[in-house]
Amino acid sequence: MDNALCRMNGCDFPLFAFSHCRDVVVAVSKAGGFGVFGAAAYTPEQFEEELAWIDAHIDGAPYGVDVLVPETVDARVTSFTSNAERAAAISAEHKAFTADLLGRYGVHIPEDQQTRIREGAGITPENGQKLMEVAFRHPIRMIANALGIAPPEMIAEGKKRGIPVAALVGAKEHALRQAAAGVDIIVAQGGEAGGHCGEVSTLVLVPEVVRALKGAGQDIPVLAAGGIMTGGQMAAMMAAGAQGAWCGSVWLCTPEAETSPAFRQKMVDARSRDTVRSKARTGKPARQLKTAWHEAWDDPAGPGTLPMPLMGMVSEPSFAHIEKAVVNGNEQARDLVSYFVGQGVGLVEAERSCRQVVQDFREEFAEAVMGLNAMLED
């Protein structure tokens, strides 16, 4: 296939794979798609190691990175400069609430592990900046940003090095702001997407963003994101004006992914209605598999969710302990197993390799186009 986006990023088939797992990135890029490595969970040192591994294994295939440089920071956390300070701001009530909630499922978490204090990691503007600097030392073919306007340094450095800068948006107005700031690719992500997302659906958002950019004289390719699990849906969004698809959830049910067998089983079993857009994992609205964790944190009668990055400092060790409990035979803990995933989870039927997913997308894409042509010709 060939379009402006393929030429810009050097890929053969404009299927983008967002993943926190280097194996997925490498497998997808080698299969003709375009792997995008999500840096958010890493320290700059770990990120450097991961990218070095990718460079050594990807056989020169193109890949990109996604860093999170939040544009706005909750007023409750702006004064903190270290994760130790941030952890100290988490109230005893929130900690007791967490321990009680996990305890009801037989998951016990030692008090000293209840809050994750890992200096140099976490979604903060300073950390995002450092991750960006690491990324530019590698042969990336794209750098993406989410949670606000891409920082000026990212755009300047991208232009200097000829590396396209992509930005994730959930609303037309944000796409226009990003384009005005100088980004090269817009990822229009609908509200059905896993992870941080807005409320407008992919089917509405994609043509809305494409039309708005055209109206503003911005000739920028748009990637469709949110709910896309098949080549038929990818063809659909390209019929609606996108130049490619950006997928996250579909890679989570592959053997290459970082996900646990327990979560992958839940993906296979889940219906599309089993996700929720909730602040209960990162502190900002993100779609994920719905569990009692989300019900409890989103309950107005409870202590309420914490701002980013505090919420993640509580939720990540909790979910790690939930996974450990399942491995250790606690069947009850399976109920709490969760991860970021979109409504498209209802379309997952089995675990497949990344290469197989890319191959299936290609075939389904071709079938969808043939089907449309057949209807017009009859």
End-to-end CA distance of the chain: 26
- The answer to whether residue 146 forms part of the interface with a second copy (CB under 8 A) is no
On whether the CB atoms of residues 179 and 270 are closer than 8 A, the answer is no
Give the three-class secondary structure for 151: coil
Q: How far is the CB of 5 from a second copy (least distance, A)?
A: 10
Q: By C-beta, is 319 or 340 nearer to a second copy?
A: 340
The helix or strand, by DSSP H or E, that contains position 356, with its residue range, turns out to be: helix 354-377
- The answer to whether residue 273 forms part of the interface with a second copy (CB under 8 A) is yes
How far is Cα 36 from Cα 30, in angstroms, rounded to an integer?
Answer: 12
Q: How far is the CB of 281 from a second copy (least distance, A)?
A: 19
Give the three-class secondary structure for 350: coil
Q: How far is the CB of 208 from a second copy (least distance, A)?
A: 5
Q: Which of the stretches 50-58, 160-168, 341-349, 353-361 binds a second copy when contact is defined by CB under 8 A?
A: 341-349
On whether the CB atoms of residues 15 and 246 are closer than 8 A, the answer is no
Q: What is the DSSP secondary structure assignment for residue 308, as one 8-state letter?
A: T
How far is Cα 200 from Cα 205, in angstroms, rounded to an integer?
Answer: 6
Cis peptide before 125 (omega within 30 of 0): no
Q: How far is the CB of 73 from a second copy (least distance, A)?
A: 23
Beta bridge partners of 188: 169, 224
Q: By C-beta, is 76 or 211 nearer to a second copy?
A: 211
How far is Cα 334 from Cα 346, in angstroms, rounded to an integer?
Answer: 18
Q: By C-beta, is 102 or 242 nearer to a second copy?
A: 242
Beta bridge partners of 17: 35, 247
Q: Smallest Cα–Cα separation from 187: which of 224, 215, 214, 226?
A: 224
In the list 144, 163, 183, 237, the residue contacting a second copy (rule: CB under 8 A) is 237
54: CB partners within 8 A, 6+ apart: 22, 25, 26, 35, 37, 63, 138
- The answer to whether residue 369 forms part of the interface with a second copy (CB under 8 A) is yes
- The answer to whether residue 235 forms part of the interface with a second copy (CB under 8 A) is yes
Q: How far is the CB of 149 from a second copy (least distance, A)?
A: 18
In the list 232, 255, 303, 304, the residue contacting a second copy (rule: CB under 8 A) is 232
How far is Cα 172 from Cα 283, in angstroms, rounded to an integer?
Answer: 23
Q: Which of the stretches 78-86, 97-105, 141-149, 196-204 binds a second copy when contact is defined by CB under 8 A?
A: 196-204
Q: How far is the CB of 190 from a second copy (least distance, A)?
A: 7
Q: Which of the stretches 48-56, 117-125, 160-168, 187-195 binds a second copy when contact is defined by CB under 8 A?
A: 187-195
In the list 1, 87, 90, 262, the residue contacting a second copy (rule: CB under 8 A) is 1
Token digits of residue 78: 């702006």
On whether the CB atoms of residues 221 and 213 are closer than 8 A, the answer is no
How far is Cα 148 from Cα 6, in angstroms, rounded to an integer?
Answer: 25
- Binding to a second copy (CB under 8 A): which residues in 198-217? 198-205, 207-208, 211
Q: By C-beta, is 140 or 185 nearer to a second copy?
A: 185
Q: Smallest Cα–Cα separation from 283: which of 122, 148, 113, 120?
A: 122
Site size with a second copy, rule: CB under 8 A: 52
The mark string for 282-301 relative to a second copy (x by CB under 8 A, - otherwise) is ------------------x-
In the list 343, 357, 358, 361, the residue contacting a second copy (rule: CB under 8 A) is 343
How far is Cα 144 from Cα 38, in angstroms, rounded to an integer?
Answer: 9
**CA dihedral sign, ordered 345, 346, 348, 349:** positive
Q: How far is the CB of 99 from a second copy (least distance, A)?
A: 28
Q: How far is the CB of 301 from a second copy (least distance, A)?
A: 11
In the list 10, 120, 241, 304, the residue contacting a second copy (rule: CB under 8 A) is 241
In the list 129, 218, 265, 272, the residue contacting a second copy (rule: CB under 8 A) is 272
Overall size of the chain counted in residues: 378
In the list 230, 259, 282, 338, the residue contacting a second copy (rule: CB under 8 A) is 230
* Residues forming the site for a second copy (CB under 8 A): 1-3, 171-173, 190-192, 198-205, 207-208, 211, 226-230, 232-233, 235-241, 271-273, 300, 342-344, 346-347, 366, 368-369, 371-373, 375-376, 378
